[in-house]
A and B are shown apart, each in its own frame.
Chain A
């Protein structure tokens, strides 16, 4: 397993943000993690890269148990560039004072690679994510949203990671750019990279994920192959998610069914 999370608990003060979450992503597999605002999906992702300390459970990244890691050991592991995180908002995750190239090469420079070789790699990566080489000397503020997003992807891929966590990578893109980005992620998967694809929208994950995990109020309520989740979900929340995602031919649940599911979820309430 490229990434394995088992029984993970995260507390923020008194809030129990994540309750016993288990999830695994194999090499060359794409797992969609679906959850709405406050469901704990970002918390899970941040715990995997060590930005949040779990209060219980285990996290294994690329075969290495990182659960007890702190400071120096985490840094050493991260420096190997095996796991990368593409943040949701590309504008905020790029330093406004660094050029595109400086941002892309940063992980390599942190590894201590020579500047010249790193710059060479940056050009390769730019080509790979279809970013015009002329943009390398620009500042992020001068780029369009889609271009910035490709910059953050290039930065994440420059260390040839085995696991990439993508936080809402397509929700801010318009239709044409979105299709291109999804095509790109499919190629990435084909090359053996494990992808954890986080989104609030089942629709944007359904087309690319092999398996889907559904987070609801800090708990993973259902995991399964994408097809099963969409067509034969068990948990009412998953069914509501499927029924709520806007579809073209409105084959999804109708209004009355959604109403029922909402009422049902009300009576179940959240996990205690």
Chain B
């Protein structure tokens, strides 16, 4: 059974009186990773928010169906939503610092999630939080536990948020531009961590990015979104080697002409020769 499935999901903007997302579909099974590529305003973030039940005011799912573990989310009550978030679906976003309280130690904030979601006592929650900080490969988790958000770098904060997101052992993790604000080497560390979590725990991923390469690195299936429209969808190999839509071709050409791919291709050819 699919952990998460979207069928022709449409999202309507009640103020602008128009659909901003016109039909997004995909299904996610355990251990699988789906990527959504698109520029700002393409509807990728709205899609994630719809899946998490946190669409901003005036926005609503106006068509199609979202199912989490076979349950239609439109039937969920507020209470049931709260139960689903964290335990079935976790999420991390672009600006990690804004999701943490600057005046509390990061460890206690992770421990709080554990206490609420897992019903653990204070001491057990602390123990579990330290384990989680270790699981996201923060060096010296005991020390990080006692630190405040301003003492940590952007990459470390994103790890802390990933730790909080997986605290209640969700089956799906949504990463919405989670590495966009980070340095390239740090971005690679976070992407490696996600790949690692997926392999070790069977965590299914929804990776959202403006960069096709980021998505290609992690995912099996890719959706290319433009102005709310899915312009192309398919297995990552197919998208990369036989793009059909002009926009996808542009995204690929950008990397081939101006990115590292320009040189790495040569390198591969050298190997063959």
B36 within 8 Å of A (CB atoms):
no
Flag the segment in B2-10, B75-83, B114-122, B209-217 that touches A: B209-217
Q: Interface range on chain B: under 10, 10 to 19, 20 to 34, or 35 or more? A: 35 or more
Tell me which residues across on chain A come within 8 A of B124, comparing CB atoms: none
Q: Tell me if B250 and A176 are in contact (CB < 8 A).
A: yes
- Cβ 8 A contact of B260, one of A36, A179, A240, A245: A245
A76 within 8 A of B: no
Contact across chains for B264 and A202 when beta carbons are under 8 A apart = no
Q: Cβ of A242: which chain B residues have Cβ within 8 Å of it?
A: 260
Interface range for A: 35 or more
Nearest to B180 among chain A residues (CB) is: A171
Q: Which of A174, A178, A247, A251 has the most CB of B within 10 A?
A: A247
| CB closest residue in chain B, given A177 | B39
Q: From residue A176, how far is it (CB to closest CB) to chain B in Å?
A: 6
Whole-angstrom distance from the CB of B22 to the nearest CB of chain A? 20
The answer to whether B210 and A174 have CB atoms under 8 Å apart is yes
Q: Could you list 7 further interchain pairs (A-B, Cβ under 8 angstroms) beyond the known A244-B185, A255-B196? A: A175-B210, A200-B184, A202-B260, A245-B188, A245-B259, A247-B264, A248-B256
Asked whether, in the complex, the Cβ of A175 is within 8 Å of the Cβ of B254, the reply is yes
Flag whether B57 is at the interface (Cβ < 8 A).
Answer: no
Q: Please report which residues of chain A, range 214-258, place their CB below 8 angstroms from some CB of chain B when the two chains form the complex.
A: 226-227, 230-231, 240-252, 255, 258
Q: Which A residues are in CB contact (< 8 Å) with B188?
A: 243-246, 258
Task: Please tell me if the beta carbons of B192 and A255 are within 8 angstroms of each other in the complex.
Answer: yes
Given contacts A248-B240, A251-B265, contact A178 B254 (CB under 8 A): yes
Q: Report chain B residues within 8 Å CB of A82.
A: none
Q: Report whether A246 and B256 are in contact in the complex, using a CB–CB cutoff of 8 Å.
A: no
Beyond A36-B185, A175-B251, A176-B250, whether A251 also contacts B264 by CB under 8 A is yes
Q: Are B39 and A246 in contact (CB under 8 A)?
A: no
Nearest CB on B from A212, distance (A): 11
Interface: A206 (CB within 8 A): yes
Q: Is B255 an interface residue (CB 8 A)?
A: yes
Task: Tell me whether B252 is interfacial, beta carbon within 8 Å.
Answer: yes
| Distance (whole angstroms) from the CB of A140 to the closest CB of chain B | 18
A20 at the interface (CB under 8 A from B): no
CB neighbours of A207 from chain B (8 A): 257-259, 262
A201 near B: Cβ within 8 Å? Answer: yes
Chain B residues within CB distance 8 Å of chain A: 39-40, 153-154, 183-189, 191-192, 195-196, 210-214, 216-217, 240, 250-268
Q: Which residues of A contact B240 (CB under 8 A)?
A: 248-249
**Cα–Cα, bound, A174→B177 (Å):** 14
Chain A residues, CB < 8 A from B250: 175-176, 179
User: Are B39's CB and A206's CB within 8 A?
Assistant: no
Q: B184–A248 contact, CB under 8 A?
A: no
CA distance A255 to B197 in the complex (A): 13
Least Cβ distance of B252 to chain A in Å? 6
Are B184 and A36 within 8 A (Cβ)? Answer: yes
Bound-complex Cα distance A243 to B191 (A)? 12
A166 to B187, CA, bound (A): 23
Pair B212/A206 contact, Cβ less than 8 Å: no
Can you give 21 A-B contacts (C-beta < 8 A)?
A36-B183, A36-B184, A36-B185, A175-B251, A178-B254, A179-B257, A202-B184, A202-B260, A207-B257, A208-B258, A227-B266, A241-B185, A244-B184, A244-B188, A245-B260, A246-B184, A247-B213, A248-B255, A249-B261, A250-B217, A258-B188
A204 touches B (CB below 8 Å)? yes
Residue of B nearest to A251 (CB): B264
Closest CB in chain B relative to A260 CB, distance in Å = 12
The verdict on A182 contacting chain B, using a C-beta distance below 8 Å, is yes
Complex Cα spacing A241 to B189, Å: 11
Which A residues, 180 to 211, have Cβ-Cβ distances below 8 Å to chain B? 182, 200-204, 206-208
The residue from B39, B154, B185, B192 contacting A175, defined by CB atoms under 8 A apart: B39
Shortest Cβ distance from B181 into chain A, in angstroms? 10
B178 CB, nearest partner CB in chain A, Å: 13
Residues of A contacting B258 in the complex (Cβ-Cβ under 8 angstroms): 178-179, 182, 204, 206-208
Please state if A247 and B254 are interface contacts (CB–CB under 8 Å): no
Q: Are B260 and A230 in contact (CB under 8 A)?
A: yes
- A231 CA to B262 CA in the complex, in Å? 11
Contact, CB under 8 Å: A248 / B262: no
* Pairwise interchain contact A240-B192, C-beta atoms closer than 8 A: no
Tell me whether B185 and A240 are in contact (CB under 8 A).
yes
A37 at the interface (CB under 8 A from B): yes
Contact at A248–B185, with CB atoms within 8 Å? no
A252 and B264 contact, CB distance less than 8 A: yes
The answer on a CB contact under 8 Å between A227 and B187 is no
The contact string, 1 if C-beta is below 8 Å from chain B, for chain A 33-49, is 00011000000000000
Chain B residues near A204: list those with CB within 8 A: 258-259
In the assembled complex, the CB of B154 is this many whole angstroms from the nearest CB of chain A, namely 8
Q: Is the Cβ of B213 less than 8 Å from the Cβ of A246?
A: yes
Q: Which residue of B lies closest to A228 (CB)?
A: B263
